[in-house]
Amino acid sequence: MPRQLVWFRSDLRLEDNPALFRACQQGEVVAVFVHSPEQWQEHGWGDLKTAFVLSNLHALAQQLRQLNIPLKILTVTRFSYAPQALLELAKELGISKLLFNDEYEWNEQQRDNAVVEAFTQAGINVERFTDQVIFPPGSIRTGKGDFYTVFTPFYRNWLSQLKPEHLVPLPAPQAQAPTQLANDPLPAFVSSQQLEHWPAGEAAAHKKLQDFAEQGLNNYDQQRDFPALAGTSQISAYLAAGVLSPRQGLAAAQMHSAGRFMDKSTGAGVWVSELVWREFYRHLLIGFPRISKGRAFKPATEKLAWRSIENSKVQRDLQAWQTGNTGFPIIDAAMRQLLETGWMHNRLRMLVAMFLSKNLLIDWRVGEAFFMQHLIDGDLAANNGGWQWAASTGTDAVPYFRIFNPYTQSAKFDPEGKFIRHYVPELAHLNNKQIHQPPANLSFNQQRAVDKLTSDLFGSRSGESSSYPAPIIDLKLSRDRVMQAFEAIK
C-alpha cells in the first residue's frame, strides 16, 4: 500500500482538510509539521500567536493518534531548509506522495515551490490543494482579466460563482490500520493567562462557531460595531491557525440564517461578507506580492513624510499608544484590551490604526508590526489589509481625508462607556458623557504615566492609577498635519 506524507501548516484540523482527506483515500498516511521558530519570529509572530499555534498542534496530535496517523516533527531555522528536511524524511519513510494545502504569503509560496521542485526531481509526486479560501487566488478576476483592487465588485463576482458544493465541508477521515511508526516529541510552548481565553483544538473552535451561529449571527449587523457587546464571532484566531476553515463558517451561516447568508441586509449576510474580506486580502497577496514585503499597495504613498521614529517626542507618542495612555479613552481601552487578551474588537482595530497612522502620523508599518507581535489572530493578509485601509495606503482604502474622531466614535459605539470602564477603570466614576472626553482637571502629566508602565510594558492591566493622562495631541492640528502630508504627494 502506498504511503503518503501530509504536511500540516496553517490547517491544524481533521475536518474539511482537503490534503488529509485525499491522502486517507489513497493509502497509509504519515503527518508532518515543520517547526520554524526563528522564521516565525522574523515574520513578526509574537509569543502568544506562537503558543496558540503550538497548543493547537498538541490538540491535533491527540486526534491523529486516535486515527493511527503518526506525527513527525521537523525543526528548521528557516523556510529555505524545509525542502531538504522534508525530502530526507520522505526518503526515510518510503513516501510515494507529498500532499499539502496552499499558503499564499510570498515566503511561504517560495518555500512551497522549492519543495515541489525538490520532490519532483527526486521522483516523488506532490499534490497541492486550495485552502484558507473558497476560490484559488487569481481565479476571480475583472472583465479585463486583472486582479480586483476594490472589494465590492470582487464580492459580487465571488457570490456569483458560489455553488452548493462550496458549502459542504469535508468530513474527518476514518482511522487507518495501526502502524509501527512512532510519534515525534512535540515542540513545547509557554502557557499564559492570555492563552486561557483561547482554548485549543477543533472541539473548542466548533463550539465557539456554533455558539455564535445560534446566538449572534442574525444580529451581527446590529451588534458588531459595539465593543461592549459579545456581537462578533471571535473565531479569527482559529481561522488564522486553520483550526476552522472558511467553508465551515459558510456552512454554519447557511444553516442558521434560513438560507439568507448571501443577503447583506441580514446579519448572516454581513458576517459572510467579512469572511469574503479575508479571502479578498489573500487574493491580493498573490496578485500584488509587494504587500508581503512591507510595501504600500499604492506606490505613491511610499513618499509620505511620516514622523521620524528616532525623534524623542514621536517615541513618547508611540509609547503612549502602545500602552493605552494617549488620553483618548476609547483608544486606550482598545489598546489595553489587546495587551490583556491578545485580541481586539474589529471596529477598534480600525480606530486605533487610524489614530496612529493619521493623528500621530506614524508609519502604518510600525503599528502593523505591533499588532502582529500581540495579536493571537495575527495574520499577514488581514492585518496588512486592515492597516493599509486605515492609513489610506492600500487597496480599497478609506479616502485619506476621512479620519475617525475618537470622541464621536466612542460616544456612538460605546454610548454608556461600558467598554471604557472595563479597560480604563480610573475613569469608571465619570458619567456617560464625560467618560468619552474626560474633563481637563482630571489630567496629570502624561509622561509620568507612560514611564510608570515602561518597565513592565505588557504585563498587568495598564492605568490602574486613579489619574488619567491628558490627550497627547490636538485632534484638529493632527488632522491638518496629515492632510498636508497627503497633499504633498498628490
Kindly list the catalytic residues.
Answer: 274, 277, 306, 346, 364, 387
Q: Rounded to an integer, what distance in angstroms lies between the CA atom of residue 279 and that of residue 118?
A: 29
Q: Beta strands 71-75 and 97-101: pairing type?
A: unpaired
Residue 357 Cα to chain centre, angstroms: 19
Q: Rounded to an integer, what distance in angstroms lies between the CA atom of residue 15 and that of residue 55?
A: 18
Total length of the chain: 490
Q: Rounded to an integer, what distance in angstroms lies between the CA atom of residue 246 and that of residue 250?
A: 6
Q: Residue 294 region, left (φ>0) first, then alpha (ψ -120 to 50), else beta? A: left
Residue in the block written with cell 502629566? 445
Q: Rounded to an integer, what distance in angstroms lies between the CA atom of residue 220 and that of residue 213?
A: 10
b (16+ CB within 10 A) / e for 171-188? ebbeeeeeeeeeebeeee
CA angle, residues 258, 262, 268, in degrees to nearest 5? 60
CB 341 within 8 A of CB 194: yes
Q: Rounded to an integer, what distance in angstroms lies between the CA atom of residue 245 and that of residue 171?
A: 12
In three-state secondary structure terms, 227 is coil
Structural element, H or E, at residue 41: helix 37-42
- Alpha helices in 43-173, H assignment, sequence order: 47-66, 82-93, 106-121, 151-161
Comparing C-alpha atoms, which of 204, 189, 4, 203 is closest to residue 89?
4
Amino acid 346 reads N
Q: Rounded to an integer, what distance in angstroms lies between the CA atom of residue 356 and that of residue 336?
A: 15
In three-state secondary structure terms, 458 is coil
In three-state secondary structure terms, 129 is strand
Structural element, H or E, at residue 443: strand 443-444
Q: Rounded to an integer, what distance in angstroms lies between the CA atom of residue 238 and that of residue 222?
A: 24
And the C-alpha cell for 272?
A: 459572510
And the C-alpha cell for 32?
A: 508532518
Transcribe 266-289 into DSSP letters.
Answer: SHHHHHHHHHHHHHHHHHHHHH-G
